[in-house]
Amino acid sequence: MSAKFDTPQDANQGARELFLVLLVTILFPPILLFGFFVVNPREEIVVLRFGKYVTTLKTQGIRWIHPVGRQLQRISTRDTTLDIATTTVVEVNGNPVEISAVVVYRVEDTYRAALHVENYRQFIEDQAGAVVKRVASKFPYESADEAKPCLKKESEAVTDGFIAELQEAVEPAGIRVLGVRLNDLTYAPEIAQAMLMRQQALALIDARKTIVQGAVEIVHDAVGQLKAAGLEVNEADRDALIANLLVVLCSGERAQPVLQVQAGGRAHGAT
């Protein structure tokens, strides 16, 4: 078996390594038994010898490689989850929010995961934390516009933004990002009380709008039913009736009787 070397120095180094392997084998033959190892399902093993890449084992089962100078780096190709710790981020409107996320990823290129980065798990953890901060700062916490993406609803634009930027960041490690989901999202404690009051005010306004809208529909139906029943109401009485109904329906206050002045000068109560 012959090997090809780029330089004479590489050839000399290869010869020394081969001599060392043969010498250890001759002096201590039982060492050959330590060459057996197992490749597990959904696992790849990057094999190095004396610090140089040899091969990548992808087939599960029992394998044998001479143990002298051998280094095995086991890389799992299973889908893996990573929890991003809660961190404070300033969203696009300048409000500080506390956010955490869960990342699902898979190693697709074990050669790069083993040799291009020091520790691929630590690498994706560091990159994911930075990406979550960067992407979250581009969106508001919540939005009144249904079509506008926001963090609270975790719209498709937000999710795609997390995945795209994180995928670009971890590409050197041979990692594929399968998904990013927000795990926790709240306003920071220093503004939580103020934001709660704001949400309550908005909820009250929305409730008032709903009440007014319903009241207008009820008044419209009441006037229509009066006309259908043949009850003629002059314009002044109709306006007073509408005003009283709106007061009753919107505020719950008791309506004042409508006074209709007849031609003879007598006043009659009208509800």
User: Which residues, in sequence order, are CB contacts of 143 under 8 Å at separation 6+?
Assistant: 149, 150, 153
- Rounded distance, CA 271 to CA 269, Å? 7
Spell out the domain ranges in the chain: 8-75, 80-187, 192-270
Residue 194 pLDDT level (bands cut at 50, 70, 90): low
Helix ranges (H only) for 40-188 are 110-115, 120-136, 156-170
Residues 143-163 pLDDT 10s: 777 778 888 887 788 899 999
- Rounded distance, CA 145 to CA 165, Å? 25
Question: Can you give the pLDDT at residue 57?
Answer: 94
% of the chain exceeding 70 in pLDDT: 74
Residues 103-125 pLDDT 10s: 999 999 999 999 999 999 999 99
Of the chain, the end-to-end C-alpha distance in Å amounts to 110
Question: Can you give the pLDDT at residue 25?
Answer: 72
80-187 carries CATH number 3.30.479.30: yes
Average pLDDT over all residues of the chain: 79
Question: Can you give the pLDDT at residue 69?
Answer: 82
| DSSP reduced 3-state for 207 | helix
* Token duo for residue 267: 């006043």
* Averaged pLDDT for residues 82-97: 88
- The Cβ-side half-sphere exposure at 211, using a 13 Å CA radius, reads 14
- DSSP label of 257: P
pTM above 0.85, yes or no: no
Residues 212-228 pLDDT 10s: 777 777 777 777 777 77
Question: Can you give the pLDDT at residue 75?
Answer: 94
